[in-house]
Amino acid sequence: MELTVNSVSCTVQSPPLTSLLNVLREELDITSPKAGCESGGCGACTVLVDGQPRRSCLTALCTVDGAAVVTVEGLGTPEDLSRVQQAFIHHYAAQCGFCSDGMVVAATAYVNAGGSDDTDAIREALAGHFCRCTGYVKILEAVAAAARGDELDIDSTASSANNTYVTIAGAES
């Protein structure tokens, strides 16, 4: 089977019913898609398949033969992060980080499709994604900022009228 993963052409040897998640993690050593529930319910394994968000744990390899797959590794580089990645940093939208890869991928699809900063629309787009840290407020703010095209400074954390943000560097008001 042939896949283009993060713009790199790959010939994969896994059996055809292998989940795309296991192909990425076990054969191609791409570990941003997380094996969370492995039954389609948590969203942590979400990747883009031909531009559309897909649960890689529900997707058999044979059904994506020839497709273009994008994971977080293909969205940006540490020196040139994607807009959604920058928004997640600026708005401190990651806590433990386990859900972040799936959230970022799904949010990228939402923003690329012209999604608005409407909170209900973002909730709908990310409805299949669990954050066990319950950091949903920051995630919604980050996706809204990316959708609006806000100026994003990843060296500072967004302030909020209602909260005191505690960053790795310390408390900010």
Partner 1 sequence: MTSTAAVSMPSSEAEAVAAVTEQPFATVLAGGTLLVPQHTLGQVAVERAVWLGRAEMDGISRSNGRMTVGAAAPLAACTRLDAPVGPCAANIGDNEVKAQATIGGNICSPAPYGDLRGPLLALGAVLRWADPDGTHTGGIADFAASGGARPGMLLLDVAFAVPEAGSFVALRRHHTQSLTAMSVSAVRGADGAVTIAATGAAPDACRLHAAEAVLAGGGSIADAAAASVSDADPYDDALASAAYRSRVLPVYVGRALEQLGA
The single residue among 14, 31, 95, 160 that binds partner 1, judged by CB under 8 A, is 14
Q: Is 25 in the site for partner 1 (CB under 8 A)?
A: no
* Contacting range for partner 1; rule: CB under 8 A; set: 56-64, 74-82, 131-139, 161-169: 56-64
- Closer by beta carbon to partner 1, 89 or else 126: 126
Q: 129, 168, 125: which is closest to 143 by C-alpha?
A: 125
SS (H, E, C) 128-149: CCCCCCCCHHHHHHHHHHHHHC
Torsion angles phi and psi, residue 94, rounded to 5:
-125, 135
Q: Which segments within the chain are labelled E, that is strand?
A: 2-5, 8-11, 46-49, 52-55, 68-70, 165-167, 170-172
* Least separation in angstroms between CB 144 and partner 1: 18
Site string for partner 1, 128-147 (x = CB under 8 A): x-x-----------------
Overall size of the chain counted in residues: 173
Cα 47 from Cα 59, distance rounded (Å): 10
Residues 99 to 118: which contact partner 1 by CB under 8 A? 106
Residue 76 binds partner 1 (CB under 8 A): no
**In angstroms, what is the minimal distance from the CB of 7 to partner 1?**
22
For tokens 């008001």, what's the residue?
Answer: 173
Q: Of 6, 32, 59, 82, which one interacts with partner 1 (CB under 8 A)?
A: 59
Residues 6+ apart with CB under 8 A from 59: 19, 20, 21, 49
- Give me the least distance between CB of 58 and partner 1, in Å please: 5
Q: Does 38 bind partner 1 (CB under 8 A)?
A: yes
The footprint of partner 1 (CB under 8 A) covers 14-19, 22, 38-43, 46, 52-55, 57-60, 62-63, 106, 124-125, 127-128, 130
